[in-house]
Structure 1
Amino acid sequence: MSRLFEEIRSSPLLWLLVFVPVVLGVEIVRPDAHTLLFLLSVLAIVPLAALLSLATESVAERTGDAAGGLINATLGNLTELVIAVTALAAGQYALVKASIAGAIVTNALFMLGACFLLGGLRHHMQDFNRTGARLQASLLFIATVALLIPSAIVAADNIDNPEAIQKLSLLLALLLVAGYVLGLWFSLGTHRTSFASAAPAENHHVPLPIGLALVTLAAVTVLVALVSHIFVASVEVAGAALGLTPAFVGFIVVSLVGGAAEFASAFAAARKDRLDLSVSIALGSAAQIALFVAPLLVLLSYVVGPAPMGLDFWPGAVVMMVIAALSAALLTAGGHSAWFLGVLVLMVYAIFALTLYVLPLSQ
């Protein structure tokens, strides 16, 4: 633990961890102070993200970038999962689907594009394992196809049979989970050597002991989930005060803050020329949400929800998810990156953000 305290003392950014107990305390004393809770939760999530980044890098030092990216994506997505399960239990299915779509688009475009840009500003040209990127992008595209089908069939053929759509959603959810498990077996088991880093890592930082790193990952993830829950509960009121549309808040604001932990890890890795870890976190997180988190929420809706939830999304969300998957697949196909490639990816994300800001989606 002394090593962890040394890291906190040496980093002014981690001093902001004091806001974690502050926001938890204010939420108990003044739960109706939404604007204050919004600001405090943002100040608390930032240092938690930095601490999670430190622990993830320490784990990746010993497990490799592919496994390290998987660990970071999994723990980072627990935040979105906790928020979604809470909304699921309340029957807020529109919010659940908005969080799913927003997280997929944000991870596949914003996180990936920012990694290319930040890494490219420090390194003239960066390489990454295109085999791993191609696998994650392919899994993401297949998952978005599964999310597209129920919505497309209902719209194209005017099917008015909720029971049939729900049955299709259940079968697709089981199929997606099976595909995700097989993908893990392929990348971490039978073909693990094919997913080795494309370039040697530039890392002069002494990693945390593996036991301390794993404990830190688990503890910080729980704290991120608690603070993110407070953030989501207050962001709608704060968003309304700022004149932001519900679609913009759900897709953009919530996704950006909710994914802060993963962003910190991916951005730091890109700056250190560890683009394999960055790409693995970005695409792996998006694919995990589409292949595992979304189907899991469908299955959990039978247990904790007031009614079963389907995989049918509104047309605007489906279009954005499909475009995000295709853009990620196209821009990672070469296995090379420069700063302008990051600009191109971020432009796609900016197009979506401006559209949601000016023309809110009909949910």
Structure 2
Amino acid sequence: MNMLLKEIRHSPLLWLLVFVPIVLAVEVLAPSAHTALFVLAVLAIVPLAALLSHATESVAEKTGDAIGGLLNATLGNLTELIIAIAALYAGEYMLVKASIAGVIVANALFMLGASFLLGGLRYRTQEFNRAGGRLHAALLLMATVALLTPAAVANLDLAQGTAVTQKLSTGLAILLIAAYALSLLFSLKTHKDLFAGEDHAEKDEEMLPIGVAVGTLIAVTVLVALVSHIFVGSVQKAGETLGMSPAFVGFIVVALVGGAAEMAVAFSAARKDRLDMSVGIALGSASQIALFVAPVLVLLSYVIGPKPMDLQFWPGAVVMVMIATVTACFITNSGRSAWFIGALLLFIYAIFAMTLYVVPPGAHVAS
């Protein structure tokens, strides 16, 4: 515990942790101050992400980069799952779907691209395990096909179109969860030797003891979930003030802020030439959202939602997810990266963000 306190004292970024109790207090005292809550929530999430980054790296030192990447992706997506469940309960299905598609695209393009860029600025070229990248890219491709199918069925002139789409979405949800479970068995059990990364990391940082690191991971994940819930509750009103559409808020803002913890770890790992971990976090998180979080939300909607949710996304979202997936497949095929590759991925993401901001989908968003 003393080591953790020392880490906070000597890191100016972690001093922003003071905003965590502040935003929680403002949420109780002035719940209608949406703009203030939005700003305070962002300021609180940033240091929590940095602390989660250090704790996850400490755990990864003991478990290896493959398990470390899976652990961080799971903890990061747990926050997004909690946010989505709250939106699901409120019937905000557009926000749920926009955030699902947005997280997939943000991880496959923004997180991966920024990792390549930051690592490439320090190392001329970097290498990563192609097997892991190919596995996650293949899972994303399959999940994208699953997202295309309900949209295609919805365009057919069927007497019971809505019921057919809902039944199809439920069946697809079960298949996607089964595929994700099999991918874990394949990568962590039967063929785990294919996904072992090389140990070429810089180890000049003092890592937290495993017990302190795990305790920190649990505590920070809970705090991130609480603050993120406040963020989502205020971001809609703040978005209206700033001229942002609900689709832009879910696809871009919620995805980036909700994934801040994972991004902090991925960027730090890339700067230390641990690109296996960065790729594992970025694509692993994207595939976990597509194959686990999204299907779970469909099934949960039968229990906690005002009506069942389907997997029918608006056409623009499906196209963006497909482009991001194909790009990830292409990029991870070589097993090597440089800073310019990362810059190109960021440009593609910027094109998507600009398109959603200037031409919001509005009525075209499926509910």
TM-score bracket, shorter-length normalisation: over 0.9
Structure 1 Cα separation of the partners of residues 132 and 146 of structure 2: 21
Partner of 2:110: 110
Partner of 1:135: 135
Q: Where in structure 2 are the equivalents of 1:1-363 lying within 5 Å?
A: 1-155=1-155, 157-159=156-158, 160-198=160-198, 200-361=200-361, 362-363=364-365
Q: CA deviation at 1:7?
A: 0.7
Q: 1:222 to 1:210 in 2, by over 3 A?
A: same
Contact 1:73/1:284 (CA < 8 Å) preserved in 2? yes
Contact 1:116/1:341 (CA < 8 Å) preserved in 2? yes
Q: CA deviation at 1:344?
A: 1.0
Contact 2:153/2:165 (CA < 8 Å) preserved in 1? no
Deviations 1:298-342 (A, max 9, x none): 111111112211111111111111111111111111000000000
Q: CA deviation at 1:247?
A: 2.0
Letter of the 1:137 partner, please give it. A
Letter of the 1:12 partner, please give it. P
Structure 2 Cα separation of the partners of residues 353 and 332 of structure 1: 23
Structure 1 Cα separation of the partners of residues 236 and 168 of structure 2: 33
343-352 or 231-240, larger mean C-alpha shift: 231-240
Letter of the 2:227 partner, please give it. V
Structure 2 Cα separation of the partners of residues 169 and 254 of structure 1: 24
Letter of the 2:66 partner, please give it. A
| Cα root mean square deviation, aligned | 1.0
Structure 2 Cα separation of the partners of residues 108 and 281 of structure 1: 10
Structure 2 Cα separation of the partners of residues 354 and 158 of structure 1: 34
Structure 1 Cα separation of the partners of residues 157 and 104 of structure 2: 27
289-298 or 93-102, larger mean C-alpha shift: 93-102
SS of structure 1 residue aligned to 2:211: helix
Contact 2:99/2:250 (CA < 8 Å) preserved in 1? yes
Q: CA deviation at 1:89?
A: 1.0
> TM-score of the superposition, structure 1-length normalised?
0.98
Structure 1 Cα separation of the partners of residues 137 and 75 of structure 2: 20
Structure 2 Cα separation of the partners of residues 239 and 218 of structure 1: 30
Q: 1:307 to 1:246 in 2, by over 3 A?
A: closer
Q: CA deviation at 1:246?
A: 2.3
Contact 2:20/2:44 (CA < 8 Å) preserved in 1? yes
SS of structure 2 residue aligned to 1:308: coil
Q: CA deviation at 1:228?
A: 0.8
Aligned length: 362
Contact 1:128/1:199 (CA < 8 Å) preserved in 2? no
SS of structure 2 residue aligned to 1:202: coil
130-139 or 193-202, larger mean C-alpha shift: 193-202
Contact 2:95/2:247 (CA < 8 Å) preserved in 1? no
Q: Give the percent of matched residue pairs that are identical in Structure 1 and Structure 2.
A: 68
Q: CA deviation at 1:193?
A: 1.0
Letter of the 2:213 partner, please give it. A
Structure 2 Cα separation of the partners of residues 240 and 292 of structure 1: 31
> TM-score of the superposition, structure 2-length normalised?
0.97
Structure 2 Cα separation of the partners of residues 143 and 280 of structure 1: 17
SS of structure 2 residue aligned to 1:303: helix
Structure 2 Cα separation of the partners of residues 94 and 253 of structure 1: 14
Structure 2: tracts of 5 or more residues without a match: none
Contact 1:232/1:254 (CA < 8 Å) preserved in 2? yes
Structure 1 Cα separation of the partners of residues 154 and 199 of structure 2: 46
Q: CA deviation at 1:199?
A: 5.3
Structure 1 Cα separation of the partners of residues 16 and 162 of structure 2: 48
SS of structure 1 residue aligned to 2:140: helix
Contact 1:127/1:199 (CA < 8 Å) preserved in 2? no
Contact 2:95/2:246 (CA < 8 Å) preserved in 1? no
Letter of the 1:158 partner, please give it. D
Contact 2:70/2:281 (CA < 8 Å) preserved in 1? yes
Contact 1:111/1:266 (CA < 8 Å) preserved in 2? yes
Structure 2 Cα separation of the partners of residues 77 and 208 of structure 1: 23
Structure 2 Cα separation of the partners of residues 146 and 91 of structure 1: 23
Structure 1 Cα separation of the partners of residues 247 and 298 of structure 2: 22
Structure 2 Cα separation of the partners of residues 133 and 199 of structure 1: 17
SS of structure 2 residue aligned to 1:302: helix
Contact 2:16/2:43 (CA < 8 Å) preserved in 1? yes
Structure 2 Cα separation of the partners of residues 91 and 239 of structure 1: 19
